[in-house]
Amino acid sequence: MTLYNEKHLSHPNALNRYSVGTKNKNLKRNDDGSLTVYVGAKSPGADKESNWLPAPNGNFSLYIRAYWGKEGITGGAWQPPAIKRI
């Protein structure tokens, strides 16, 4: 998942993190194997920062890219998980 600011540019941040995905080897999974990604202007806390995608205070966009997608994606059966505002 990649984050872009309101000008559709990468958002500068102290972590130099502009996306989270398969290349991020330090993401922490939940006990049930699911993954929670935190997106926001403020850190969700040191214990959750490995899963944090820093965002601007204003508007931004999130994109999911699937390269070499499997049948669930190419056939339309897979849907991205819901985004929950907390």
| 18-66 per-position pLDDT tens digit | 999 888 999 999 999 999 999 999 999 999 999 999 999 999 999 988 8
Least reliable range by pLDDT among 7-16, 25-34, 74-83: 74-83
Q: What's the CA gap between 63 and 84, in Å, rounded?
A: 15
Instruction: Give the CATH number for residue 14.
Output: 2.60.120.600
Q: What's the CA gap between 36 and 82, in Å, rounded?
A: 11
- Asked whether the beta carbons of 66 and 78 are under 8 A apart, the reply is no
Domain count of the fold of the chain: 1
Which tokens in the block code for residue 60?
A: 């931004």
The pLDDT score that the predictor gives to residue 84 is 85
Domain limits at 55? 1-86
Task: Please state, as a whole number, how many other Cβ atoms lie within 10 Å of the Cβ of residue 38.
Answer: 18
The pLDDT score that the predictor gives to residue 80 is 86
pTM given for the model: 0.85
